[in-house]
Amino acid sequence: MKERFIHAIRGQGGEDLKVIQGLVDAETWERIQTLQKDKHTFVDALKQWRSESLSGAGGEAPDRGREQNKLFEQGKDARTLHMVADKKYEMHIKGGEVIPLTEGEVFAASEWGTWWQFDPSVPREMQSKVMRNQVRHVLADQFDQQLMTFGRVDRLSDDRKRDTYARKQDSEKSLETVPDGILAEKMLMSLLTKEMHDHANELPFTVKSVDVYEDIEHKIDFIITVQGLRRGVKAKATQRIGIQFTTSEKKDTKEKKEKQLDRVRAHLNETEVDQLVLIAMPVDDVRPNFDRWRYTKDGERVSEKRLDPRGPDHLWSPEIKKKIIDGLVRGIGLE
């Protein structure tokens, strides 16, 4: 169904467009199409930014083009990224505070809504990589909104599934309202993104996020890709492992989730992965760390301009971070 949905929203339609439109009311389809137009506008702005900022044409472009380019980079509540040495960056906060950043922390900041604009000290190649990364996050969020808008009214679905999409869409309007389990997943994804960039030679896998369809329909929270993973007597060059992550180690919770995964495993060819693994990891300081990151000691919400771009996972102790990485490595059979 997701493939048909993608064809329909891209206007590649024919039968797929007819089917998808027939499963929702006109108002819902209009909202989905509006999101699609917003995505196109955003991609066009990125192309304009790249052509003018990175090709050296910026100085020769019309004033209007340069101004649009500047507005795109500045974005909403954009923060300025400075480079101080190879793979070492920093962000300056009004009042003189400086937050040091690794390359991984620069990329992971998009998980927490940070939009970077660039000081001239940042090389153009790095500017391009960071901009593509944060645009990808925005487009992924918009695609999730399209999927949830469709999923909450899909006439082929049942009430339980429609309610799941509706609850997820309603709860994820802000980080403060997301369930602790979803918050833990975001913190884990942020941590792994940092590790993937900063310790690429030590981390035996790469990680990528998934869309809301894979989450709800296939119970996949994120995908780990391992090169040359051996299973039994056979070896496959690349293994894509779907991870279902839980912070609960309760027996009944794990059994319930394993049953859900078993149902998906029966139709694994319909997913994006080669296998599915449940990782149970007791991390009990998710919400306290989020609150320490998001609010002052007096309970005031930290302004976007002063919010630490390293996210709440930065507050995990080195011991907890190591425990999480080691648990994943064991869980996917690399130990």
Domains held by the chain: number? 1
> For 41-54, what is each residue's pLDDT tens digit?
999 999 989 887 65
In this model, does residue 213 exceed pLDDT 90? yes
On whether residue 151 sits in a domain, the answer given is yes
- pLDDT band at 247, cuts 50/70/90? confident
Residues 6+ positions from 272 with CB-CB distance below 8 Å: 210, 214, 218, 220, 223, 240, 242
Length of the chain: 335
Tell me the percentage of the chain whose pLDDT exceeds 90.
Answer: 63
- Asked if the model's pLDDT at residue 234 lies above 80, the reply is no
Residue 63: pLDDT above 70? no
- Which one is predicted more confidently, 284 or 99? 99
101 forms beta bridges with: 89
Cβ-in-10-Å burial (0-12, 13-18, 19+) of 263 comes to exposed
Q: With respect to residue 54, please indicate whether it lies within any of the assigned structural domains.
A: no
User: Is residue 14 included in any domain, yes or no?
Assistant: no
85 pLDDT exceeds 90?
A: yes
Which band of pLDDT confidence, cut at 50, 70 and 90, is reported for residue 173?
confident
Q: pLDDT above 70 covers what percent of the chain?
A: 93
Average pLDDT over residues 176-194: 91
Q: Give pLDDT, residue 58.
A: 45
C-alpha closest to that of 217 among 166, 173, 271, 171 = 271
> Given a cut of 70, is residue 223 above it in pLDDT?
yes
60-69, 104-113, 273-282, 294-303: least confidently modelled range: 60-69
State residue 59's pLDDT score.
Answer: 45
pLDDT value at residue 224: 92
Within-domain flag for 19: no
Residue 64 lies in a domain: no
**pLDDT bracket for residue 94 (50, 70, 90):** confident
Residues 6+ positions from 16 with CB-CB distance below 8 Å: 3, 4, 5, 7, 8
- 11 located within any domain: no
Provide mean pLDDT across the span 13-35.
Answer: 93
Question: Quick one: pLDDT band at residue 191, thresholds 50, 70, 90?
Answer: very high
- Look up the domain containing 250 and give its range: 75-331
**Which pLDDT band, with edges at 50, 70 and 90, does 331 fall under?**
confident
For position 60, what pLDDT does the model report? Answer: 47
Q: What is the pLDDT of residue 169?
A: 92
Average pLDDT over residues 106-121: 95
Selected residue with higher pLDDT from 228 and 279: 279
pLDDT band at 109 (very low <50, low <70, confident <90, very high): very high
Residue 281 domain-assigned (yes or no):
yes
Residue 233's pLDDT is what? 40
Region 228-233: what's the mean pLDDT?
52
Mean pLDDT of 272-284: 87
- Residue 273: inside a domain: yes
pLDDT-based confidence at 236, cuts 50/70/90? low
- Residue pLDDT, tens place only, 139-155: 999 999 999 999 999 99
In this structure, which amino acid lies at residue 329? V
Above 90 in pLDDT, residue 251? no
**DSSP-derived secondary structure letter, 250:** -
What pLDDT is attached to residue 64?
Answer: 56
Q: How many CB atoms lie within 10 A of CB 192?
A: 25
Write the Ramachandran bin of 211: left for phi over 0, alpha for psi from -120 to 50, otherwise beta. beta
Torsion on CA atoms 224, 177, 114, 219, rounded to nearest 10 = 10
